[in-house]
Amino acid sequence: MTTKKDKPQSLGHIIKNNWFLFRIAVRVTPALILLPVLKNIIFSIFSFLTGTYLLRCVINGFQDGKSFSEMIVPVICVCGAYFLCSLLSSAYDAFLEPVQKLKLSEHLKKMIFAKNESVELGCYEDKGFYDKYVKAANNIENRIWGVVNTVYNCLWIIMSFSLNTVFIIIIDPWLIVFAAIPVIAKFTLGEKRNKIQHEYDMKRQEEERQRDYTRRTFYLNDFAKEMRLTNIYKVMFARFNRSVKNIIAYIKEYGFKLGAVDYITEELYEVGAIMGAQLYSVYRTLVSGTMKYGDCLFIITAISEVSNTLMNGAQSFFAFHENSLYIDTIREYLEYEPKIKDGEFPAPKSGDIKLENVCFRYAGQNADVLKNVNIEIHNGEKIALVGHNGAGKTTLVKLLLRLYDPTAGTISFADRDIRDYKLTGEEGYRERFGTVFQDFRLFSMSVADNVLLRRRRNGDEAVVERALKNSGAYDKVMTFENGMDTVLTREFDDKGEVLSGGEGQKVAISRVFVKESSVVILDEPSSALDPVAEYKMYENMMNACENRSVIFISHRLSSAVLADRIYLLENGEVIEEGSHHDLMQKCGKYAEMFTLQARNYVADGEEVRA
């Protein structure tokens, strides 16, 4: 996945990017967007009236000899309306806004989760794509609020600027010149500041990701044994310290640049705009006598307001620009088109599987992992894939499941290319498979949920019980206080159960028995079992899956004896195939491997029998 770097952004691109997120916010939570728009318009008017205009009216009224009662009535009316609107605004902030924000936040997370689920497995092996995922997930919520709040700010700016500017021009048009000074500086320096800030954030996020990974290795159970039994913790400490040191270096490097830009902008605002306008107004009031006292006070307050709104207007433009820099990454991630495309045909319930001249190469590698593989699996047939590590067995299974597509060649199911079938759903191709991998995961949920891996339905208790019995996990699960409702792991439940590797594998194997799939794939799910337990597990599996196709990978060739046909892979190629008896008769590579393994399980001097 390519990355756009330092590409100048046009005004149209900036608007398009910000509109992309703003449109999502309006669609998901219209109340969260439209009510604050109305609130900002109303309160910008109140801010003008109470902050500058009423003060001008009162002071000029006294100077012109008006009575107190003439001036107090409009003040009371404005204040009463302001307090009523403030009460309604507080109610909105306390009750409606938190719910709407949570709703929008949940929607954004689901967007990220849905995209993550839809992309092909290869994306997880692409550092560039993973970086985009992390940055999109970390930034999308902040950026959507950045866009929404900038829109709110723009509405406030437009209202406040319009009201104050009209009256400033009525009093003295030349005063607008003072307000323009800091704006010119802001537009001159703002884009440079945004680029510095964005570069700083990107570098810092990368180091923070390294730091956070190191931190996880110290508290996640996956790393607990290695951290305690080896000296890897010293390496991780050094890595953590290096990340922190780099973050500090970035703070020093970019903090000085950002501080210098901010200092120049602030001084031009304070000296050029505020003090210049104040001195000019005081001169006209006290020296030349050409300005009323109320107008002078109004100008002193209003010029600061106009200058602030112009500054904020410039800042809002650069806020949109800054948001756009981050939204580029978010959009690249969300708009990524998965390479594994859905087909249009529903997948049949069962059928033969055929691989013809299948080749596959992982992205970024120079050699094929699979080379001209030809395999045929008849419906209901039991197939064993054997071979040394790295022979391509697991890759072949991933191709069968369409987690990847072949680089060359075809895979067919029921005499149709699997790329023509719908991928997921009840009619989906993957729904025809029940699969357990060696690196399976148990979730911090009940045993039943871990077996079903879907929402529960009526009658599922019997389904789970049968699946646990078929896998050999039932007796162990029934020793738990809450049986199949017992939560696995203790991450969220102090009474949860922590299973051993072998027990966990049996629960994972149970999953294939709850699906009405025509094909069962077992990618070394029994590595934590002893040879006898593994053989018994496969024997039970074959009996339970009598009418289903079974494809299993096992390093222990004793289990391959149960298969109708065996494929021996080496360096990505099928070098032998046939039944156990046929391959032993050939006295080839399989027979050699089987004999070597069998010697580990027979007594000295005892003959190895095929």
What's the pLDDT tens digit per position in 144-189?
888 888 888 888 888 877 877 787 777 777 777 776 766 666 677 7
Of 220 and 474, which is predicted with more confidence? Answer: 474
User: First and final CA of the chain: distance in angstroms?
Assistant: 50
For the chain, counts of helices (H) and of strands (E)? 19, 10
Whether 578 contacts 406, CB under 8 Å: no
Whether 511 contacts 453, CB under 8 Å: yes
Rg of the chain in Å (alpha carbons): 35
Q: What are residue 552's DSSP bridge partners?
A: 384, 522
Averaged pLDDT for residues 382-411: 91
Which H or E run includes 356? strand 353-360
Q: How far is CA 352 from CA 195, 378, 400, 537, 574, in A?
A: 58, 5, 12, 25, 19
Averaged pLDDT for residues 392-403: 91
Q: Report which of 554, 562, 550, 542 is spatially closest to residue 593, judged by C-alpha positions.
A: 554
Topology of the domain comprising 12-334: ABC transporter transmembrane region fold (1.20.1560)
Confidence of residue 381 (pLDDT cuts 50, 70, 90): very high
In the chain, the amino acid numbered 167 is F
Q: Residue 607: what pLDDT?
A: 41
All structural domains of the chain with their residue ranges: 12-334, 353-442+499-598
**HSE, side-chain direction, 13 A CA sphere, residue 14:** 13
Q: Report which of 49, 43, 293, 308 is spatially closest to residue 163, judged by C-alpha positions.
A: 49
Q: What are residue 408's DSSP bridge partners?
A: 359
What confidence tens digit (pLDDT) does each residue in 491-515 have?
Answer: 787 888 888 877 888 888 888 888 7
Q: Report which of 372, 386, 418, 383 is spatially closest to residue 399, judged by C-alpha positions.
A: 418
SS3 content of the chain, % helix, strand, coil (to 5): 65, 10, 25
Confidence of residue 81 (pLDDT cuts 50, 70, 90): confident
Best CATH choice for the domain 353-442+499-598 from the list 1.10.260.40, 3.40.309.10, 3.40.50.300, 3.90.110.10: 3.40.50.300
What confidence tens digit (pLDDT) does each residue in 442-465 have?
Answer: 888 899 998 888 888 888 888 899
Determine how β-strand 408-413 pairs with β-strand 353-360: antiparallel
Q: Two tokens at 439?
A: 């690196």
3-state SS assignment for residue 544: helix
Q: Residue 580: what pLDDT?
A: 92
Cα separation, 510 vs 518, in Å, equals 15
What confidence tens digit (pLDDT) does each residue in 581-592 have?
Answer: 999 999 999 999
Cα separation, 589 vs 387, in Å, equals 10
Cα separation, 441 vs 450, in Å, equals 9
- Tell me the percentage of the chain whose pLDDT exceeds 70: 91
What confidence tens digit (pLDDT) does each residue in 287-329 have?
Answer: 777 777 777 777 777 777 776 776 677 677 778 888 888 888 8
Q: Two tokens at 491?
A: 């991450």
The two most distant CA atoms of the chain are separated, in Å, by: 125
What value does the mean pLDDT of the chain take? 82
Q: Residue 608: what pLDDT?
A: 43
Cα separation, 276 vs 405, in Å, equals 70
In the chain, the amino acid numbered 40 is N
Q: Residue 272: what pLDDT?
A: 63
Averaged pLDDT for residues 196-217: 84
Identify the residue whose tokens are 């990454």. Answer: 329
